[in-house]
Amino acid sequence: MNIDKVTLHTLIASKLTLAGLSADYAAVMADVLVFAEARGIHSHGTVRVEYYSERIQKGGITLHPEIRVETTGPCSAILHGDNGPGMVLSKQAMEVAIDMAKEKGIAVVGIKNMSHSGAISYYTQMAAEAGLIGLAMCQSDPMVVPFGGAEIYYGTNPLSFSAPGRDNIMTFDMATSVQAWGKILDMRSRDKAIPDSWAVDASGKPTTNPHDVRGLLPIAGPKGYGLMMMIDILSGVLLGLPFGRSVSSMYADLSKGRDLGQLHIVINPAFFGDQQTFLDNVQQVMGELNQVRPAEGVEKVMYPGEIADLEQARTEKEGIDIVDSIYDYLKSEHVWINSYDHKDPFAESH
Ligand code: NAI
């Protein structure tokens, strides 16, 4: 089913309000989900609505959180989120960070006690749209083996960075695992083998059978493992939250808050040199990357985030393709149909 952004936004927001969320909060969540879908980040778009709706209805996301912004220093703050919707809290925390960085040059804002925040480039792009550099990272449920390990410890802890150029924004946004769990689910559903670099089985050995997967692998071996560690320290340990394997599971109990953490770092280029020169130079980098001689079989070298920019421009014109079953669910009167509650993270169905 192909639909335009506005219709998709309305469908998602209606479902979330049906689940019990206020219209204002539902609109913010729909913004972030449509952003992901429009930019081709399907793992964090419409496919998640049913899960969020079930969690909202079962009480695992605080509907009316007591949000408190605690300024802890000249350039630092903590947003206490009371396990409200992660997307609402993350957006608000980025607004706080943007205002602080405009005035002080740099801002470090932690979000304490939140639910899942989706595709985190949404927040770093907010900073870049304000002419600032944005960095975001967050905790995610444990599904990844530490380098050399046979059991899971860290989450797929994502990292996003955005820098503004004169005309475009350069963004990278990635999980620190080789592949998102959703990609393995997709291969399971098609009964297709996966590359042995994606995941391990119960004994910790790399596997090509998606049904045997019991742990994901970090990107680039020990290097991705190091990044996961860094993200868990900065967005969890630093904020006094559960860390490592104690981070809550996405599916363990949908009636409970997840107590996740996220960190935003925003830098104002004007405090480090001339703002206009910075914008010009970032733009120049993008142009130079596009001019790099491509390897055989590659049409063009793209700047980080360009694929998503191109997809966004395309879907703006041509609409967004939604999986039929998801469209049917969004149109239905059900808050949720297939329960995600108490699922083993590596279970076959979901
Ligand atoms: P991905 O592997 O699809 O892309 C990673 C990055 O590489 C992107 O910035 C993409 O634009 C860039 N890229 C891809 N191909 C490229 C090319 N040919 N040239 C230049 N750049 C290229 O992303 P991944 O790791 O699957 O993450 C998907 C989403 O999942 C992200 O939005 C992330 O924030 C989100 N996520 C959120 C979590 C949460 O708990 N909130 C947990 C894990 C992931």
Q: Please state the pTM of the whole predicted model.
A: 0.96
Q: What's the pLDDT score for residue 344?
A: 80
Radius of gyration of the CA atoms of the chain, in A: 20
Residues annotated as catalytic are 116
Q: What is the pLDDT of residues 136-188, one digit of tens each?
A: 999 999 999 999 999 999 999 999 999 999 999 999 999 999 998 878 877 88
CATH class, domain 2-273+311-331, is alpha beta
pLDDT for the residue 107? 99
Determine what percent of the chain is predicted with pLDDT higher than 90: 91
Whether pLDDT at 244 is above 80: yes
| pLDDT band per the 50, 70, 90 thresholds, residue 19 | very high
pLDDT at 330 over 90: yes
Q: Looking at ligand 1, which atom is closest to the CA of residue 173?
A: 9
Which runs of consecutive H residues, i.e. helices, occur in the chain? 5-19, 23-38, 49-58, 86-104, 121-129, 181-190, 222-235, 275-291, 306-318, 324-331
Q: How far is the CA of 158 from the centre of ligand 1 (A)?
A: 8
What's the pLDDT band for 348 if we cut at 50, 70, 90? low
Domain borders along the chain are 2-273+311-331
Whether residue 268 contacts residue 132, with contact meaning beta carbons closer than 8 Å, is answered with yes
Q: What is the mean pLDDT of the chain?
A: 96
Cα 21 from Cα 63, distance rounded (Å): 6
DSSP 175: -
- Ligand 1 pocket test, candidate residues 174, 178, 298, most atoms within 8 A of CB: 174
- Convert the pLDDT of each residue in 259-312 to its tens digit: 999 999 999 999 999 999 999 999 999 999 999 999 999 999 999 999 999 999
For ligand 1, pick from 125, 307, 310 the residue to mutate: most ligand atoms within 8 Å of CB.
Answer: 307
Q: What is the pLDDT of residue 180?
A: 80
Return the closest-CA partner of residue 39 out of 303, 314, 301, 300. 314
Question: What's the CA gap between 98 and 104, in Å, rounded?
Answer: 10
Q: Does any ligand 1 atom lie closer than 6 A to the CB of residue 90?
A: no
Residue nearest to atom 20 of ligand 1 (CA): 304
Q: Tell me how far the alpha carbon of residue 330 lies from the centroid of ligand 1, in angstroms.
A: 25
